[in-house]
Structure 1
């Protein structure tokens, strides 16, 4: 056998990339930045590819294979890169199908089939199928970003495989191409069809003949050693070659991890789900008791039976998810059982299952969840498990490596107990969750790869765990594949006879070993090419921000990204991240891509120039600093903070982009402008405007916001306080945006606060939270401003006076950014705890206040910084009390995001982000529907891109106050009116 994989070290990356470009292979990237982004998947491993190819057409795939074959370069296929076992990275050429080779080719609702290209995301197939009342049965937790090709590679399963099967069970036909260029269409075959194919005498005939001979020689072994229970997916699925399985070559290829052939298209089976579903949550004293209860519950034919341990739920901090957890039955572990049926039958089914669970030892209670929204929040905990479990409650890093083992369900309790003892013996910890109904457990374990001793513990532990799983008749992998994580352990599960068959199977398909070498057969050791290694010394990069959660280690902070890829979701699903990726679909514009580049920067191998890296700068360019990732990433990756740190160092002692001066220093520049607002407005709307925009680094397409004739602070300091002030004082934060551009928002806030019984104060002087300097990475200035702000508010904060902000981005800065900038300053921390949104103050500190009633409908845009730091629940409560029928848009970031959408080169992405949900929803809203948007950026984007205007919650409340209550109305606030002209 020619082992191509052993010869790739002599290949030159630049030469390989150029050969691929010359070979008509689609888009080819051989730059350092792209190679760094594709150096890791969701596993423990790291390998730098020679080049990355993004095929757009079938011919591009064939041409790329031809070039790689000629050069002797190995090929690794990749979908979303969420593989946890290391099979989506390689040392040669990576074919990324997700960007462009991702079409739905056909959908036949009558035959209940669909034909797809391998890069199609599962949720996109599900959306198309749902239009016909159908779905694809396999549904892994990564459904919002995983591709069908990746699912085929790993034989992905998901929560509902208990009822609807694995990916393999739902494959009808595959069209594939081998490394040597033979294109083959695969499906099930009768003996007559096999004979006919062999008689053709071509390359396909040779392939089928060799596979048929392999099966016929080993019928007894295939029947007794493979396919013994549904989650036995380790190794190759040779049992699919049995005659009773109709020699199904397509299904035999599923789970082969890209080592046999490259998928060009797949025809999959669709099914019709039950009309109704119900979720039954069952509590148990511990995970082992939950596992013991599984066999009895399977008789009730649940669609899904998922388990999770308290060690996983203890990690959750997101407010909405935490609230959902707090409503679970009191327990230390839970089973989520989903039932399918009709509205008439489901209550009885749920009651019967709950009664069966109550008879199980250790069951602490049950609850039937009928609210779909609550059920979705609970399922989200399970879906986010792979990310949540990457940090233990004490902050230690936890890793995959042994997180996908499966046993027959009747062995689950026994296996889990012995597995727990094994972890204790090695002094390891991990949060257990997974597909209990099929005996498949997921767990991230606190391996320490930074030391030789810790790496040795990892090697010993996974070897012991492999022996344990074999003793229970289980499988090393239950759905994630073997990859580099487990391939070397397969002999402990199968023995030499089966391993020899696997090697023969691989040789038939890929005699040159050109496809994903080192996976399944001829494996690499489990501790080779680890992402964290004691043999690599990161660059000594000192930081301004403390990164306390990561021990002040910037490299550790950036490797929070373990690759689960939630940031690559094409639609929101209640999340903000990642706005720019949803527009460009480019890995470099995802949270993961940016974190990967930053991590590689700290390693100094591919990205060699540290803070001065242009690759990192360019990847961060389209980051909106929306902070969505800080809340939505299950691992807590915070690229907005990483970007501020990077920009600070990158431009230290150097000329910055013009926008960093014009918009980064906007709060300071606004002060002289406020003295002559009409002159400034005349200039920014005159024939000089294009030149002024160019000078300031502002996009030509953007209208410059107009300065108000009078600032809020000028108005406030000349007025007499109103109302009785019975609730005591409140400090109103007069943010720079509303103070200078929309003072009517702040005056409305005063009206509302005084009506609610507060005595309104404002800080002395003209203060700023420093946000614009933070987002542009001018951290030295930002820290000085933060000290001044903290000093100005210190007396009020120490007196227990709440600080209420009306601009969400500034309120979020007071809450989170200032305490970070002034790490260790107790006054800054106290300020962060004192900061409130208007809704939070009114709901929690004036619960008896009766807001004015407004019989209206509204749609609301949650500011991304508010989403990240406090959420929208208080606003929803207040709107409900007002009698407003509100719909909170699942729109993510508005796309303007402070300075981002104004900067030269960002306009198109900014508008495209808004056009995904927000702007179409605004245009579609009825004329009498209120458009609620507290963020200045959100209102600006709406005003500049539609005929509507956004209304702040304070304006809505103030406008509805009783007209007779003049004492509470400092002015006559009115709601914004819609434009009379039209705009596309």
Structure 2
């Protein structure tokens, strides 16, 4: 048997890339940045590929395989790269199907089937199927970004596999190509069809003949050792070759992890969902008691039965999700049971289910969750489990490695008790959750990969765990595949005859070992190619931000990204992350892609020039610094902070881009402009405007905002205070944007605050939060500005006086960035605690204030920074109290994002981000619908791209006050 490993020693990335370019293989990349981005998936493993190919057409796939075969280079197929076992990384060529090869080819509502290319995202298929009242049954927690090809590779299952089965159960037909270029269509075959194919000869005939002989010689083994329970996913699914299963080669290929053939298209079965659903939450004293209750509950025709341990829910910090958790039945573990049926029957069935659970030992209570918003928030905890469990409540890192073993549900309680004891014996800990209804547990464990001893403990533990699961009649993998994490352990689960069968199966399909070598058969060692290892010391990189949550270690901060890929979600679902990826659909523009490059930079192997790296700089270029990832990423990756840190060091002692001097220094430059606003406005609107913009690094397409005739501070310091001030003082934070461009917002804020009974004060002098310097990475200046601001506001903060901000980005900077920049400064922390939004002040500090009634409809755009720090909860409460019928747009970032949308080279991405949801929604709104947008950037984007104007919440309220006089 030949091996592709021989080719790797002779070729370098440049040679392979050149050959692929010449071979008409689609989009080909062999640059250092691309290779670094694709060096890891969502597992513990890392292999730097020689090149990455993004096929656009079927022929590109065939051509790429032909080039790799000629060069003797292995091929790894990849979808979203969310594999937790290391199957989506390889040392040869990676084929990324998600970028271009991702179309829905056909959908037949009558036959209830869909034919797709392998790169299609599951949610895109679900959206198309939903138009016909159908869906694809398997639904992994990564449904918003995982691809059908990846699901086929791993035999993905998901939350509803209790009702609708695994991917293998829902695949009708596959069209695949082998490493040697044989294209074959796979599905069920009768004996007559097998005989006909063999008689026809050719590569297809010889392939089918060999597979048929393999099955016929091993019928007893296939019937007794494989397919014993639904979640037996480890190894190859050879049970589908049995005559009683109609020799189904398509199902046999599902779960083969890209080691046998490359999928060109797939026809899958769709199902009709129930008309209504109900979520029943069942509480138990611990996860083991919950596991014991599972077998009896499965008799109730469930759609899903998921388990969550309190160790997982303790990690949740998102306010609205935390609130949903806090009202759950008192327990240390819960089962989320979902029922499907008609609305009339569900209440009765929910009561019967709860009554059955009451009979179980350790049951603590139940609740039927009828609020769909709360139900979605609870399900979100389960969906985010892989990310949440990566950081334990004490802040320690946790890793996959024993990610999804499964046992028959009747053995789940016994297995979980033994597994918990095994963790204790090895002095390890982890949060357990998973598909309890099918005996499949997920757990992230605090392995220490940074030391020899910790890595040895990892090997010893997973070996013991493999023996434990085998003793319970289980499978090392229940849905994520074996990959490098578990392939070496398969002999502990299967006897030598089965292992030999697996090798024969692989050899028939791929005699050159060219497809994903090292997976399932002839495995790579489970402790090899580790992404973090005892012999990989990160570069010593001193930082300005303290990164306390990561022990002051920038490399550890970048390791927060474990690859779950939520930032690759293209559809808006109430999240902001990641605006640029949603526009470009390019891995390099995802939070994960940027984090990968930053981590590789800290290692100094692929990215060798540290802070000076042009690859990292270019990858960060389209980061909007929106901070969406800091809230939406389940692991808390804060790319805005990472970008600021990188830019600070990258440009240290260097000339910066022009926009850093114009947009970055805007608060300071605005002061002289405010003395002659008419002249400045005339210049920026004159024939000189293109030259001014070009010199300032500003996009030619952007209109420069006009300076106000009078700043807010000039107006405020000459006015007579109003109101009775009965509630005491409040400091109004005068941000540079509203002060110089839209002072009417701050004036409206004064009117509202005084009507609510506050005595409005403003800081002495002209203060700034320093945000524009932070986002452009000028951290030394930002620090000095921050210190001045904290000093000015310290007396008020110490006295407990609220500091209210009307510009969300500046308010967020006071709450989060300043305490980090001024690490250890007690006054900075006090200021952060004192800072509130207008809605938070009115709702929490003036609960008896009666806001004016406003019978109006509105749509609201939540500023990214507010989404990341405060949320929209208080705003929603206030709007409801006023009688406003508000719809919060699931729009994500407006796309302007401070300096980003004004910078040259960013205009198209900026507008495209706004056009995804926000701008069309604004244009479609009726003329009498108020467009609420507190952010200056959001209002500017709306004004420049539509014929509407955004309104600040303060303006909406102020206009309805009985004594309000509109300000100029």
Give the TM bin, normalised by the shorter chain. Answer: over 0.9
Which residue of the partner structure matches residue 950 of structure 2? 950
**Is the 2:579–2:913 Cα contact (8 Å) retained in structure 1?**
yes
Query: Structure 1, residues 672-701: CA drift from partner, whole Å, max 9, x if none?
Result: 000000000000000000000000000000
Which residue of the partner structure matches residue 972 of structure 1? 966
Please state whether the residue corresponding to 2:350 is helix, strand or coil: helix
Please state whether the residue corresponding to 2:282 is helix, strand or coil: strand
For 2:305 and 2:171, the matched residues in 1 are separated by 23
Please state whether the residue corresponding to 1:723 is helix, strand or coil: coil
Which residue of the partner structure matches residue 458 of structure 1? 458
Which residue of the partner structure matches residue 17 of structure 1? 17
Q: CA deviation at 1:373?
A: 1.1
Q: CA deviation at 1:10?
A: 2.7
CA RMSD of aligned residues (A): 0.6
Please state whether the residue corresponding to 1:172 is helix, strand or coil: strand
Structure 1 residue runs of 5 or longer lacking an equivalent are: 975-984
For 2:343 and 2:460, the matched residues in 1 are separated by 52
Please state whether the residue corresponding to 1:860 is helix, strand or coil: strand
**Is the 2:403–2:442 Cα contact (8 Å) retained in structure 1?**
yes
For 1:326 and 1:691, the matched residues in 2 are separated by 57
Moved over 2 A (4+): none
**Is the 2:901–2:907 Cα contact (8 Å) retained in structure 1?**
yes
Q: CA deviation at 1:6?
A: 4.9
Please state whether the residue corresponding to 2:493 is helix, strand or coil: helix
For 2:287 and 2:539, the matched residues in 1 are separated by 42
For 1:5 and 1:443, the matched residues in 2 are separated by 34
Query: Structure 1, residues 310-366: CA drift from partner, whole Å, max 9, x if none?
Result: 000000011111111111111000000000000111111111001000111111000
Which residue of the partner structure matches residue 556 of structure 1? 556
Q: 1:598-613 to 2 correspondence within 5 Å?
A: 598-613=598-613
For 1:395 and 1:375, the matched residues in 2 are separated by 28
Which residue of the partner structure matches residue 502 of structure 1? 502
Q: 1:569-648 to 2 correspondence within 5 Å?
A: 569-648=569-648
**Is the 1:405–1:477 Cα contact (8 Å) retained in structure 2?**
yes
For 2:353 and 2:967, the matched residues in 1 are separated by 57
**Is the 2:48–2:91 Cα contact (8 Å) retained in structure 1?**
yes
Which residue of the partner structure matches residue 828 of structure 2? 828
1:515 aligns to 2:515 (yes or no): yes
Which residue of the partner structure matches residue 56 of structure 2? 56
Q: CA deviation at 1:5?
A: 3.0
Q: CA deviation at 1:572?
A: 1.8
Which residue of the partner structure matches residue 380 of structure 1? 380
For 2:237 and 2:45, the matched residues in 1 are separated by 25
1:5 aligns to 2:5 (yes or no): yes
Query: Structure 1, residues 209-264: CA drift from partner, whole Å, max 9, x if none?
Result: 00000000010100000000000000000000001001000000000000000000
Which residue of the partner structure matches residue 713 of structure 1? 713
- Compare 359-368 and 7-16 and name the one that shifted more: 7-16
For 2:238 and 2:652, the matched residues in 1 are separated by 59
Q: 1:133-172 to 2 correspondence within 5 Å?
A: 133-172=133-172
Which residue of the partner structure matches residue 487 of structure 1? 487
Which residue of the partner structure matches residue 239 of structure 1? 239
For 2:420 and 2:5, the matched residues in 1 are separated by 38
**Is the 1:663–1:899 Cα contact (8 Å) retained in structure 2?**
yes
**Is the 1:123–1:145 Cα contact (8 Å) retained in structure 2?**
yes
Please state whether the residue corresponding to 2:937 is helix, strand or coil: helix
TM-score scaled by length of structure 1: 0.98
Q: 1:69-218 to 2 correspondence within 5 Å?
A: 69-218=69-218
For 1:308 and 1:223, the matched residues in 2 are separated by 34
Query: Structure 1, residues 470-496: CA drift from partner, whole Å, max 9, x if none?
Result: 000000000000000000000000021
For 1:322 and 1:725, the matched residues in 2 are separated by 35
Which residue of the partner structure matches residue 857 of structure 2? 857
Please state whether the residue corresponding to 2:193 is helix, strand or coil: helix
**Is the 1:576–1:864 Cα contact (8 Å) retained in structure 2?**
yes
Which residue of the partner structure matches residue 675 of structure 1? 675
**Is the 1:959–1:973 Cα contact (8 Å) retained in structure 2?**
no
Query: Structure 1, residues 37-82: CA drift from partner, whole Å, max 9, x if none?
Result: 0000000000000000000000000000000000000000000000
For 1:590 and 1:186, the matched residues in 2 are separated by 35
Please state whether the residue corresponding to 1:464 is helix, strand or coil: helix
1:264 aligns to 2:264 (yes or no): yes
Please state whether the residue corresponding to 1:266 is helix, strand or coil: strand
**Is the 1:190–1:247 Cα contact (8 Å) retained in structure 2?**
yes
Please state whether the residue corresponding to 2:474 is helix, strand or coil: coil
Which residue of the partner structure matches residue 284 of structure 1? 284
Which residue of the partner structure matches residue 804 of structure 1? 804
1:875 aligns to 2:875 (yes or no): yes
- Compare 9-18 and 896-905 and name the one that shifted more: 9-18
Please state whether the residue corresponding to 2:300 is helix, strand or coil: coil
Which residue of the partner structure matches residue 528 of structure 1? 528
Which residue of the partner structure matches residue 445 of structure 1? 445
For 1:537 and 1:423, the matched residues in 2 are separated by 27
**Is the 2:6–2:72 Cα contact (8 Å) retained in structure 1?**
no
For 1:663 and 1:856, the matched residues in 2 are separated by 36
Which residue of the partner structure matches residue 418 of structure 1? 418
Which residue of the partner structure matches residue 346 of structure 1? 346
- Compare 77-86 and 568-577 and name the one that shifted more: 568-577
**Is the 2:7–2:71 Cα contact (8 Å) retained in structure 1?**
no
Q: 1:795-944 to 2 correspondence within 5 Å?
A: 795-944=795-944
For 2:950 and 2:966, the matched residues in 1 are separated by 18
1:298 aligns to 2:298 (yes or no): yes
For 1:71 and 1:277, the matched residues in 2 are separated by 54
1:430 aligns to 2:424 (yes or no): no
Q: CA deviation at 1:973?
A: 4.3
Please state whether the residue corresponding to 2:890 is helix, strand or coil: coil
1:32 aligns to 2:39 (yes or no): no
Query: Structure 1, residues 642-696: CA drift from partner, whole Å, max 9, x if none?
Result: 0000000000000000000000000000000000000000000000000000000
1:689 aligns to 2:683 (yes or no): no
**Is the 1:958–1:973 Cα contact (8 Å) retained in structure 2?**
no
1:317 aligns to 2:300 (yes or no): no
For 1:264 and 1:510, the matched residues in 2 are separated by 17
Which residue of the partner structure matches residue 753 of structure 1? 753
Which residue of the partner structure matches residue 776 of structure 1? 776
Query: Structure 1, residues 704-747: CA drift from partner, whole Å, max 9, x if none?
Result: 00000000000000011110000000000000000000000000
Please state whether the residue corresponding to 1:836 is helix, strand or coil: strand
Please state whether the residue corresponding to 1:212 is helix, strand or coil: helix
For 1:8 and 1:259, the matched residues in 2 are separated by 18
Which residue of the partner structure matches residue 978 of structure 1? none
**Is the 1:674–1:711 Cα contact (8 Å) retained in structure 2?**
yes
For 1:664 and 1:605, the matched residues in 2 are separated by 33
Which residue of the partner structure matches residue 699 of structure 1? 699
Q: CA deviation at 1:536?
A: 1.3
**Is the 1:576–1:629 Cα contact (8 Å) retained in structure 2?**
yes
For 1:187 and 1:688, the matched residues in 2 are separated by 68
**Is the 1:138–1:161 Cα contact (8 Å) retained in structure 2?**
yes
For 1:210 and 1:276, the matched residues in 2 are separated by 48
For 2:503 and 2:7, the matched residues in 1 are separated by 20
Please state whether the residue corresponding to 1:53 is helix, strand or coil: strand
**Is the 1:730–1:804 Cα contact (8 Å) retained in structure 2?**
yes
Please state whether the residue corresponding to 2:543 is helix, strand or coil: coil
**Is the 2:80–2:565 Cα contact (8 Å) retained in structure 1?**
yes
For 2:66 and 2:396, the matched residues in 1 are separated by 45
For 1:935 and 1:77, the matched residues in 2 are separated by 43
For 1:13 and 1:972, the matched residues in 2 are separated by 66
Please state whether the residue corresponding to 2:268 is helix, strand or coil: strand
Please state whether the residue corresponding to 1:95 is helix, strand or coil: strand
Which residue of the partner structure matches residue 977 of structure 1? none
For 1:222 and 1:146, the matched residues in 2 are separated by 31
For 2:244 and 2:89, the matched residues in 1 are separated by 36
TM-score scaled by length of structure 2: 1.00
